[in-house]
Amino acid sequence: MDASIRDKVAVIGVGCTKFGDLFDQNLADLMVEAATAACADAGVGLDELNAAWLGTFSPGMNGGKATITLADALRFHGRPITRVENYCATGTDAFRNAVMAVASGQVKMALVLGAEKLKDRPVRGLQREGIHPLLEYGTTAPGMFALAANRYMNTYGVKRESLAKVAVKNHAAGALNPKAHFQMKVTEEQVLKAPLIAYPFGLFDCCPTTDGAAAAIICSAETARALGKPLITVKGMGLAVRTGKPFLDPTCDYRGFPATQEASAQAYKAAGIKNPVEEISFAEVHDCFTWTELTNTEDLGFCKAGEGPRFVEEGHSTIGGKLPVNPSGGLKSFGHPVGATGVRMVYEIVTQLREQAGPRQVKNARIGLAHNLGGPGAVSCVLLLGRDT
C-alpha cells in the first residue's frame, strides 16, 4: 500500500440509520434508509451511481442473499455490486475495495453500504454461521477477548477499574448521539457491579448486539471538486490478516494485536503520518470490549505498550482530550452490527470533519481514523480520512 492513493478519492455523502433493536426493519429496509440518506447528503440520485460495494458479515434475512437484496431494495439493477466479508472488518474493507476501484478509474461514483441484521434472524444464529461454541473450541467472542485481556492485565498490573473508564467515556459520548443504540451514561460503579459475562468483562464491558446500516458515496477528488463539494478525501488505508490460531503465533503475545499494528503502519505510510498522536485529530476504534480500546490505542501508536489505561484515565481520549477516541460512542454505546460498523465509522468521521457533530463535535477535526478488528483479533483494517483547508 503506497502513497499513490492519497487525496485521489473523496467522500461526498454519508448516511446512517438509528442503531438498535430494529424489529420493525429488515435488512432491505435498513439498506434503503442508509443509502437514500447518503444520496440526499451527496445531492446525487441512486441512478447516478455506477457501482456498489456491500459490506455484510452474515446476511441472514432473505435466505442469505446479499448483493441481490441490495439490487432489489434500491432498484440498483444492471450495475456491479460486490459483497465483501472480512469478519468485523467487513465494513472498512468494503470501503477500501470501493476506493481502489474509484482510484483505478473504472468506477466514477460508488455506493459503499454496510448493513447487518443481528436480531430476529430466520435461522439459528451462531450455529448457522458455523461459529457455535460447541463447534469452535468451546469459545465465544467474550471468552476469546477475555483470555487476552487477562494476560494483558496480569502483565501490566491493570485493574477492572481501568477498563470501566472506557465504558464510562464511551457511554457519555453515546448519550450525546441520537443515532446510538444506547443513549445513556453509566457510572464506574454501575460498570463494575454489572453481571459478569467472562472475567474481566461485565455486561457494560461488552458491546451490544445491534441492527443497523450506514452508507457512503465516493468519487474521484476531481469529480467532487466539479460538484462543488467540500473536499474530504481518503489519506491512507491498510489491511492486515494474522493467524486465527493465536496460540500458534509467536508474534502474538496477547498484549496487542499485530494485525492492527500492521494495518495502521500501512495507512500511516500511505498518508505520510509520522506522529499519529500529533497528526490525527480523532479516532473511531474497535471497542468491541472495553479492554480492546485500551490495547487499540497502543497498537495504533497513540501511546506506548502498557500505557493504554493511563491514556484513558488521564482523559486524553475524551471528546475534549488531545486525541478523542470514539466520540460517536463507539461500538460500546453506538452498537455493533458487524458489516455496518466500519461504514458507520466513515459516517462519523465525515460528520466530524464537516463540523456537523453537534454536542459531540471534536475541535479542529482535520484527520480522522477508522479502525476495525475482527476474527477475533486476526483481521484489522485502518482508514484515514481528512479535509482540505
Residue span 282-321 as binding mask against a copy of itself, x where in contact by CB under 8 A, dash where not: ----------------------------------------
> Looking at beta carbons only, is 21 or 129 nearer to a copy of itself?
129
- Determine how β-strand 196-198 pairs with β-strand 9-16: unpaired
Cell of 1: 500500500
R_g over Cα of the chain: 19
> Looking at beta carbons only, is 131 or 172 nearer to a copy of itself?
131
Q: Which of 236, 215, 235, 218 is nearest to 227 (CA)?
A: 218
Q: Which of 316, 322, 317, 329 is nearest to 357 (CA)?
A: 329
Helices (H), 175-289: 188-193, 221-226, 258-271, 276-279
Q: How far is the CB of 8 from a copy of itself (least distance, A)?
A: 8
DSSP string, 337-355: -HHHHHHHHHHHHHHHHTT
Q: How far is the CB of 95 from a copy of itself (least distance, A)?
A: 11
Q: Which of 340, 379, 377 is nearest to 59 (CA)?
A: 340
Q: Which of 26, 46, 80, 119 binds a copy of itself (CB under 8 A)?
A: 80
Q: Which of 258, 324, 327, 337 binds a copy of itself (CB under 8 A)?
A: 258
Cβ contact 59:337 at 8 Å: no
> Looking at beta carbons only, is 67 or 183 nearer to a copy of itself?
67
Q: Is 67 in the site for a copy of itself (CB under 8 A)?
A: yes
Q: How far is the CB of 346 from a copy of itself (least distance, A)?
A: 17
Q: Which of 49, 90, 88, 100 is nearest to 66 (CA)?
A: 90
Query: Beta-carbon neighbour count of residue 78 at 10 Å?
Result: 6
Q: How far is the CB of 351 from a copy of itself (least distance, A)?
A: 26
Cβ contact 289:253 at 8 Å: no
Q: Which of 87, 145, 268, 334 binds a copy of itself (CB under 8 A)?
A: 87
Total of chain residues touching a copy of itself, rule CB under 8 A: 66
Residue span 346-385 as binding mask against a copy of itself, x where in contact by CB under 8 A, dash where not: -----------------------------x--xx------
Q: Is 267 in the site for a copy of itself (CB under 8 A)?
A: no
Q: Is 46 in the site for a copy of itself (CB under 8 A)?
A: no
Three-class DSSP category at 80: coil
Q: Which of 85, 188, 307, 313 binds a copy of itself (CB under 8 A)?
A: 85
Burial class (CB in 10 A: 0-12, 13-18, 19+), 228: exposed
Q: Is 239 in the site for a copy of itself (CB under 8 A)?
A: yes
Residues in 185-204 at the binding interface with a copy of itself, rule: CB under 8 A = none
> Cis link prior to 133 (omega < 30° from 0)?
no
Q: How far is the CB of 108 from a copy of itself (least distance, A)?
A: 8
Residues 6+ apart with CB under 8 A from 168: 185, 186, 187, 188, 191
> Looking at beta carbons only, is 136 or 314 nearer to a copy of itself?
136
Q: Is 228 in the site for a copy of itself (CB under 8 A)?
A: no
88 is catalytic: yes
16 is catalytic: no
| Rounded Cα gap, residues 82 and 62, in angstroms | 17
Q: How far is the CB of 315 from a copy of itself (least distance, A)?
A: 34
Q: Is 120 in the site for a copy of itself (CB under 8 A)?
A: no
Whole-number Cα distances in Å, 113 to 52, 92, 179, 258, 384: 7, 10, 17, 28, 18
Q: How far is the CB of 178 from a copy of itself (least distance, A)?
A: 33
Burial class (CB in 10 A: 0-12, 13-18, 19+), 203: middle
| Rounded Cα gap, residues 277 and 256, in angstroms | 18
Catalytic residue among 181, 316, 336, 371: 336
Place of cell 457455535: 132
Q: How far is the CB of 326 from a copy of itself (least distance, A)?
A: 24
> Looking at beta carbons only, is 107 or 319 nearer to a copy of itself?
107
Q: Which of 29, 33, 93, 287 binds a copy of itself (CB under 8 A)?
A: 93
Instruction: Provide the annotated active-site residues.
Output: 88, 336
**Residues at the contact surface with a copy of itself, assessed by CB under 8 A:** 1-2, 4-5, 50-51, 60, 62-72, 76-87, 93, 96-97, 100-101, 103-107, 122-123, 127-131, 135-136, 237-245, 249, 258-259, 262, 266, 375, 378-379
